[in-house]
Structure 1
Amino acid sequence: MTNRDFVLIVLFSAIICTLGLVPPIQIGFIPVPITLQSLGVMLAGLCLGARGAGLAVIVVMILVAAGVPVLSGGRGGLGVYAGPTAGFLVGWLPGAIVTGLLADRLVGPSRAATRKAAVIGGTMAALAGGVVVVYALGIPWLSFIADVPLGKAAAGSLLFIPGDVVKAMLAALIAHGVAKAFPLPRG
């Protein structure tokens, strides 16, 4: 790993943490808030690729475990990993990796695709990794911890889909702009 790789991993960890400064929006009947941090996870996958994004998310997860209040709402500590949102938090790691892998296939490793191709491919990659994969881990954990049927937990999570689609599209637009202005190493 080069110094540049290290700096980019730390930078994207900081972006994910900084997005945690935006206050969460509580829905009320589901204990999972709407946050912007998943945008950072998607963005890391699109910009850094699987390896770099995975490492950036690991840094965030270590900070959370150490008690640093980097999650939306100022949360941190080992207790977060036992709460109803833990499955979503843990899902960030495979979600970022899958986003990076799919972006390489759908947009191309150099990210030199046309704007339309980059945004469509990037959005699809971010939706697959940042939504499908994260929800695949988050919803069953939420069901288990909150002691609600899996179908009810999944139905409640549907409220987040429109916002997640917007975040995926925004991440793809930003990643395309970053790739044009400042090509990042892949891998």
Structure 2
Amino acid sequence: MTPKSRLQDLTKGAVFVALLIVFAMIPGIPLGFLPVPIVLQNLAVMLVVLILGPKRGTMVMAVFFLLAAVGLPVLSGGRGGLAVLTGPTAGYIWAWLLLPSVYWLLNRWVFGHRNLAQPAWWQSVILLIIVDLILNFGLGAAWLHFNQGLGFWSVYWANMVFVPGDLLKIALAVFLDQALWRASQH
């Protein structure tokens, strides 16, 4: 890896950490029946997953996670600190660390893409839906089950309130990813 490509990787990573933080400034919408708000920040997470790949995406999410852990207000609503990373929304946030690697692993297993080949738009949509509905909702529900004593399946099914918004975020993330990929090919 040349110094120029290393600098480009660091710059790209810094831009995406900043994007995650900017999206955190948009306050979440509380639901009342579930201690997890509707947030726009997971759109930035989806962009990290799609654009940066498994290694860089996971590294960016780890840096972001560390910023949150030391108390910087980088999570939705200007929150941060260990209390947030162990509170009701922690399972969803912890899932963000896994999303880049799981997405690209599924890309390889399901569609047979090697070497981070750019999936077709519909493949990206399918993969993001899978990691969102299974990994993100599953870890979020599991955490609420163990941390808050809520029933796993009742919380998991309550997550379905997020599906319409998440589908819009997935569509936007895939559109932006595909547009950026096409622009980089010229």
TM-score, normalised by the number of residues in structure 2: 0.87
User: What corresponds to 1:155 in structure 2?
Assistant: 157
Q: Equivalent of 1:166, from 164, 168, 176?
A: 168
Give runs of aligned pairs for residues 83-162 of structure 1, distance below 5 A.
83-103=87-107, 106=111, 109-111=116-118, 118-162=120-164
Question: What letter matches 2:143 in structure 1?
Answer: W
Give runs of aligned pairs for residues 1-187 of structure 1, distance below 5 A.
2-103=6-107, 106=111, 109-111=116-118, 118-182=120-184
Task: Check whether the contact 1:42–1:129 (CA below 8 A) recurs between aligned residues.
Answer: no
1:27 shift after superposition: 0.6
Task: Check whether the contact 1:53–1:100 (CA below 8 A) recurs between aligned residues.
Answer: no
5+ residue gaps, structure 1: none
Question: What letter matches 1:58 in structure 2?
Answer: A
Percent identity reads 34
Distance of aligned partners of 1:42 and 1:100 in 2 relative to their CA distance in 1, 3 Å threshold: farther
Task: Check whether the contact 1:42–1:130 (CA below 8 A) recurs between aligned residues.
Answer: no
Bigger Cα displacement from structure 2, 126-135 vs 172-181: 126-135
SS of 2:160's equivalent in the other structure is helix
Question: What letter matches 1:168 in structure 2?
Answer: I
Greater relative contact order (Cα < 8 A, sep 6+): 1
TM-score, normalised by the number of residues in structure 1: 0.87
1:53 shift after superposition: 0.8
The separation in 2 between residues aligned to 1:33 and 1:66, in whole angstroms, is: 22
Q: Which runs of 4+ in 1 moved over 6 A?
A: none
* Number of residues of Structure 1 aligned to a counterpart in Structure 2: 178
1:106 shift after superposition: 4.5
SS of 2:32's equivalent in the other structure is coil
Task: Check whether the contact 2:68–2:75 (CA below 8 A) recurs between aligned residues.
Answer: yes
Task: Check whether the contact 1:102–1:125 (CA below 8 A) recurs between aligned residues.
Answer: yes
The separation in 1 between residues aligned to 2:24 and 2:112, in whole angstroms, is: 28
Question: What is the aligned-residue RMSD (CA, Å)?
Answer: 1.9
Distance of aligned partners of 1:143 and 1:158 in 2 relative to their CA distance in 1, 3 Å threshold: same
Distance of aligned partners of 1:83 and 1:31 in 2 relative to their CA distance in 1, 3 Å threshold: same
Distance of aligned partners of 1:100 and 1:16 in 2 relative to their CA distance in 1, 3 Å threshold: farther
Distance of aligned partners of 1:127 and 1:46 in 2 relative to their CA distance in 1, 3 Å threshold: same
